[in-house]
Amino acid sequence: MSDTPFGFGLPPEEPEDGDEGKKKDQQSGGGQGPANPFGFGGMPGAGGFGGPGADNPLAAMFGSLNPTDLGAAFQQLGQMLSYEGGPVNWDMAKQIARQTVAQGTADGSKDASVGPAERKAVEEAVRLADLWLDDATSLPSGSAAAVAWSRAEWVEATLPAWRELVDPVAERVGAAMGDVLPEEMQAMAGPLIGMMRSMGGAMFGTQIGQAVGVLAGEVVGSTDIGLPLGPARKAALLPANVEAFGKDLGVPLEEVRLYLALREAAHQRLFAHVPWLRSHLFGAVDGYARGIKVDTAKLEDVVGQFDPQNPEQLQDALQQGMFQPEDTPEQKAALARLETALALVEGWVDAVVHAAAKPRLSSADALRETLRRRRATGGPAEQTFATLIGLELRPRRLRDASRLWASLADARGVDGRDDLWHHPDMLPTATDLDDPDGFVHREQMDFSELDKMLGEAAGKPDLKKDDAEKDDKAGGDDAE
């Protein structure tokens, strides 16, 4: 995936000119024909646009489409041009995501409804996971329900959270499209800008829909990226993806399911009983997004040369470096705050789950390392997150955070470790993740000094009270 936020794929290449190009098209069964007029590589039709009879403009454009596909193409174009909502066409994103899910994964796995036996297995795994977690954390259960989702159900359940994450970035682009023109020209160019925004919203929706659809084929629950993507207090697993995750590990499916249920249930405890955490995380994402700078010079060129009959030029501009993080202290601070917050969440879950699973599951170490390697090699969750908002969560931070939480539990006990979640100001910082042992030692010293001060205060005589007693006694003697 592209490192650029909302990175789009390149448009299809033009066919070669002359007879050689035509011969190549015929041998390949039609070829690409002219560049896709809608700017999307995934439009209906097995051969894309173009095909036999390329000398006929209509045949060149729609020759490979049957009437049903042609109707779908025009319907999608109508959706692009008529959209008047926010910066992302989320109806299109949902449609594309569900279509992507329906196509199946790269290994041929198809989505299917979850059966009663699978639902029962997930419910039982979450129930047992919550029992085990009671010994590993002071936070009570956060799962009011355990649910088993198909991939399509995961898409439906998580789109509201994706919208909250992605809209701040897309909003900056939509605003920039109008700001690049002088105010006196904006009224004259209103329809053109409106068309560009509609197409931009559709293109964002298409990219997000494709990314979320692919991600639905890989995730095992609702919290794979450390953020609460699903409804509150619902521990969710995707049985088909859980089975695929454990396929070649040599670990019984029941143990794989239980370990992943431990992770999901641990996330739910944290998000349910740390009331400020969700807004803190999403606010950090929003703060990072606000620092993304749109290359207005490049956007001015796009607006000035925009051709409604050639919308893929807008797609190209969106891909070719229009979004750039500002190299300012504020942006660096926002990035560090977001990376640290996500690392602390994932590190806490990693440490707590390991403490709960290690004495009970012989495969705990192997499953833990598998998940860590998955993140270190840029798993689907990290890749999607990097594509959608331009942020890559560094796995090194996760390991450091896990070690810090484990050290805190050893030094201060489970309650002392979990007490740090009472307020964001009490949490370790990015600097503390660089030196976990130093943070634990410093915290011990701080609390020891505080206890010493409190103890000394408790042992000192109350001078005011003693003086008052002396005065009372003196007054009594005088009365006698």
Question: What are the pLDDT digits (tens) for 357-386?
Answer: 999 999 999 999 999 888 777 666 566 666
Mean pLDDT lowest for which of 4-8, 82-86, 107-111, 305-309?
A: 4-8
Confidence (pLDDT) at 443: 63
Question: What are the pLDDT digits (tens) for 127-142?
Answer: 999 999 999 999 999 9
Phi/psi at 432 (5° precision) = -65, -35
Q: Where are the domains of the chain?
A: 18-81, 87-398
The average pLDDT across 319-335 equals 65
User: What is the residue type of 76?
Assistant: Q
Confidence (pLDDT) at 15: 41
306 contact partners, CB below 8 Å, separation of at least 6: 192, 196, 313, 314
Contact 193, 174 (CB under 8 A): no
- What band does 419 get if pLDDT is binned at 50, 70 and 90? very high
Q: Model-level pTM greater than 0.75?
A: no
